Amino acid sequence: MGWSVPDWLDTWYLVAGADEVGAAQVLPFQLAGERGVMGRTPQGLAALRSRCPHMGADLGAGWLQGDRFVCPLHGLSFGPDGQCDRRAVEPVRPFPVQEGCGSVFAHPTSPSGPAPRAERWPDLVWAPARAERVELSWQAIVVNAFDMHHLQVVHRRALVREPELVELAPDRLRLSYATRVTGRGLSDRLMQAFVRDHIDIWVTCVGGPVLVVEVDLGRTRTAAMVGLVPDGTGTVFRLAVGVPTGTLAPVGARLARWLYFTFIRRDVPALSGAVLDPASDLPEDLPVQRLVAFLEGRRGL
């Protein structure tokens, strides 16, 4: 028996890097089969369904005027609550949006909890990376983050503390473990320069398609916000990294991004075409089984 989790769940999705939403422009995005448009208004971020109810033009091709989204076809405008400036025209439905950790999160319905955030170290500075598309399902990527069994083979890391799993909230499952770097590649040796003895890692799956990764290297700490959005047969992968504040933060962020991408790229060849079906009773597979049960309990759309 296989397992299956719908692509679209009733949860937060990471739809943009915080730096993609400019002051006066609007940013189109896609969520759960609908087109959206977001903008940075004087009151903060706002997002609406982007089909104009007047004649169906795309608000994503329009612009912002103060806190109003202006339709590019006849100039009607819609407030952050979706109300049109002309009473006779239907309102559009807003998307809940929240910004944090260098990322913008949108929710397809009504959120039952706050957007994902790094909780251990709220003082990090965050740098978003560009989005990448991978030919893998988001479910496979999330499973991989909980897969203790592949750490040695793919990532050259030895487990030095047994993994622990805690359900922090109905939509948050956290895995923590510790590893030692055993690889000899460039990124492995760079990591070793920051590591005292071992690396403590906390990976929190938030709702399904978002992972918050918090890492204590001994000499420094970093965090990563990983957002996964289904896109046809693949997934749009977004990463933002958090590094300690200070004059070296921009360099640290670039280095952290490179290290995270190098780490993640090692997974892609091994995961291509894999149908992940955790049917074994091996103790190493326990975190994956717990994650799968967690994902199967999430509500689809």
Query: Contact between 141 and ligand FES (CB under 6 A)?
Result: no
Looking at residues 263 to 282 of the shown chain, list those that interact with Fe ion (rule: CB under 5 A). Answer: 267
Structure tokens given for 225: 């916000």
Strands (E), 82-233: 97-100, 103-106, 125-128, 132-134, 157-169, 172-181, 195-206, 210-218, 221-231
146 binds Fe ion, rule: CB under 5 A: no
Query: If binding is defined by CB under 5 A, does position 103 make contact with Fe ion?
Result: no
Pick 144 or 179: Cβ nearer Fe ion: 144
Stretch that binds ligand FES, among 40-48, 68-76, 93-101, 143-151 (CB under 6 A): 68-76
Q: Pick one of 18, 61, 73, 165: the residue that binds ligand FES (CB under 6 A).
A: 73
Give yes or no for residue 101 binding ligand FES (CB under 6 A). Answer: no
Q: Say which DSSP state 25 is in.
A: -
User: Does position 57 bind ligand FES by CB under 6 A?
Assistant: yes
**Is the CB of 73 or the CB of 165 nearer to ligand FES?**
73
Residue nearer to Fe ion on the CB measure, 78 or 177 = 177
Question: Smallest distance from the beta carbon of 86 to ligand FES, in angstroms?
Answer: 9
10 is an interface residue for Fe ion by CB under 5 A? no
Residue range at the interface with Fe ion (CB under 5 A); choices 36-44, 139-147, 190-198, 279-287: 139-147
Q: Does 74 bind ligand FES (CB under 6 A)?
A: yes
Burial 40-58 (b: 16+ CB within 10 A, else e): bbeeebbbbbbbbbbeebe
For 241-247, the CB contacts below 8 A with 24+ separation are 241/102, 241/126, 241/127, 241/129, 242/101, 242/102, 242/118, 242/121, 242/124, 242/125, 242/126, 242/127, 243/124, 243/125, 243/127, 244/123, 244/124, 244/125, 244/220, 245/123, 245/124, 245/125
Using rule CB under 5 A, residue 7 touches Fe ion? no
Range 211-214 contact pairs with CB under 8 angstroms and sequence separation of 24 or more: 211/142, 211/145, 212/101, 212/116, 212/117, 212/118, 212/119, 213/145, 214/118, 214/119, 214/120, 214/121
Cβ nearer to ligand FES, comparing 76 with 101:
76
Nearer to Fe ion, 171 or 267 (CB): 267
Query: Interface mask (CB under 6 A) for ligand FES, residues 190-229, using x and -?
Result: ----------------------------------------
Under 8 Å between Cβ of 60 and 51: no
Q: Which stretch binds ligand FES (CB under 6 A): 54-62, 107-115, 129-137, 249-257?
A: 54-62
Residue 134 · residue 234 · CB < 8 Å = yes
Query: Which of 31, 76, 129, 199 contacts ligand FES by CB under 6 A?
Result: 76
Q: Footprint of Fe ion on this chain (CB under 5 A)?
A: 144, 267
Binding site for ligand FES (CB under 6 A): 52, 54-55, 57, 71, 73-74, 76
